[in-house]
Amino acid sequence: MDTILEMSDTFKLLGDKTRLTIVALLKERELCVCDIVDAVGISQPGVSQHLRKLKQAGLVHENRKGQWIYYSLNREGNSYVQDVLAHLPSMQEKLQVMNNCCD
Q: Is 65 left (phi over 0), alpha (psi -120 to 50) or beta?
A: beta
- Can you give the residue range of the structural domain that contains 8? 4-96
The answer to whether residue 85 is domain-embedded is yes
pLDDT digits (tens, 9 = 90+) for 50-92: 999 999 999 999 999 988 899 999 988 788 899 999 999 999 8
Domain count for the chain = 1
Query: Which residue from 95, 51, 53 is spatially nearest to 71, judged by alpha carbons?
Result: 51
The answer to whether residue 69 is domain-embedded is yes
Strand-pair partners of 57: none
Q: Taking the model in full, what pTM does it have?
A: 0.90
- pLDDT for res 89: 93
The answer to whether residue 11 is domain-embedded is yes
The answer to whether residue 101 is domain-embedded is no
**Identity of the amino acid at 92:** Q
The answer to whether residue 16 is domain-embedded is yes
The answer to whether residue 103 is domain-embedded is no
The answer to whether residue 73 is domain-embedded is yes
CATH number at 49 reads 1.10.10.10
